[in-house]
Amino acid sequence: MKELNERQREVVSMLGNSTSTSGWEDWKWHVRNSIRTVEAAEKILGVTFSDEKRALYKRTLDKFPMSITPYYFSLIDQEDYESDPVFMQAFPDIRELNVSPHDMADPLHEDEDSPAPGITHRYPDRVLFHVSNLCSMYCRHCTRKRKVGDRDSVPDRGQLKQGIEYIRRTPAIRDVLLSGGDPLMLSDERLDWLLGEIRSIPHVEIIRIGSRMPVVLPYRITDGLLAVLKKHHPLWLNTHFNHPRELTRTSRRALARMADAGIPLGNQSVLLADVNDCPRLFRTLNQKLVQNRVRPYYMYQCDLSEGLSHFRTPVGKGIEIIESLVGHTSGMAVPTYVIDAPGGGGKIPMMPNYAISQGVNKVVLRNYEGVITTYTEPDSYEPSYCDRDCRSCHLTLKEDDADETGAIGIEKLLSDWDDTTSLTPENNERLARRDAPADNPADDDAAPAVQAKG
């Protein structure tokens, strides 16, 4: 067991006589002793909130519960806790009760895109599998605040089996992402069973886990857990560091152990006002992640979930941060900046504009320094006509399991094998006027959808 630092010893002692320093590296000890009340937080912080402030905190907790591991709580700067990035991500804020007109309980329509318990099937070849509603820490910026922490709706084995059966009978699914809550809140035994069931499905090629445990409770990365994960390769893990302060010696050791176990690691940050909305901070964070064998994967624009307005930045701030990364540091340290589209539209990449103009023969580009240059198009390019018959294609990409399924969206418009020329919203008023009899005008309140027009 490593030697505890002074602050960790203080936290242990303040949690009561039933605890001891010997339990600090036991992840279940941290879950049992998580800080869930305002009074416990006051005691460990060594502060006394005013009656008014305490009442506001409690009002927030009545709607959105709090759970902070002793480990993560120990990272808070006691001298300036209200401006501390750890504190702001973990501790309630009365502004969470401000629901703006654009806020939604389920902004990504995960529940509407759910064909089976726990399953969100949004993209053609992959699904999100909600396997737990519990986390060791409840992030204040969580997009699933509507369900995280609901102990009465934790999926049981029967519900998980329904999700597994949906995956089993849907051969288009090649990629399964376990999410929650936090999948690593499951026991090693339950996780082993779950991964084994999914791995037994022939068409599932990749299993991914989304977990914040390496950040908020790195002691969860035990020998037993690693032994389970190594049984079910290829397996990837994406975690959620938002600030360089979170990359402690303990979290770095947890990351190293997973990387040494052959698990590719990625990171998904969320852009948060007053927490990490700084180009220099993000560059430092991403460079440190790469040093620890973690690839910055996504930088998310904060979702339109209820009560997150105070965390949101303009999209322009995210573009500014990406501008400060591209060309200024290695490409491995540049995540994809995305907006997860409200209404279930999926992740939409956002980038600075590098293409300035385009002619018949040239593309005019600019680089990170502001240098303007040109790329000359080929004088003669004869595209290969694609009829989607991969087995007769002359290219060397012939594969026994080539995908010959149809396309949707923009890919359909670009294809040679489909005669679709436009995508027009269903219930388009102009088309409705064409079809509507003169004495029966189109219903202007019809809900929009999308249909293809050939």
Active site residues: 122-123, 126, 135, 139, 142, 144, 303, 340, 347
C-alpha 35 chain-centroid distance: 25
DSSP state at residue 68: B
Q: Is there a contact between 166 and 116 (Cβ–Cβ < 8 Å)?
A: yes
User: Alpha-carbon distance 139 to 31, whole Å?
Assistant: 15
Beta strands in 293-342 (DSSP E): 294-301, 336-341
User: Alpha-carbon distance 44 to 12, whole Å?
Assistant: 9
Runs of H (alpha helix) within 33-80: 38-45, 51-63, 70-73
Q: Quick one: tokens of 433?
A: 């006027």
Q: Give the SS3 label for residue 408.
A: coil
Q: Is there a contact between 91 and 140 (Cβ–Cβ < 8 Å)?
A: yes
Q: Is there a contact between 151 and 164 (Cβ–Cβ < 8 Å)?
A: no
Q: Give the SS3 label for residue 304.
A: coil
Measuring CA to CA, which residue among 451, 3, 27 is closest to residue 220? 27
Q: Quick one: tokens of 416?
A: 């040679």
Find tokens 């589209």 and name the residue.
Answer: 341
Please list, in sequence order, all residues whose beta carbon lies within 8 angstroms of the beta carbon of residue 219, skipping any fewer than 6 positions away: 24, 25, 26, 27, 30, 71, 250, 254
Total length of the chain: 454
User: Alpha-carbon distance 294 to 406, whole Å?
Assistant: 35
Q: Quick one: tokens of 25?
A: 């590296």
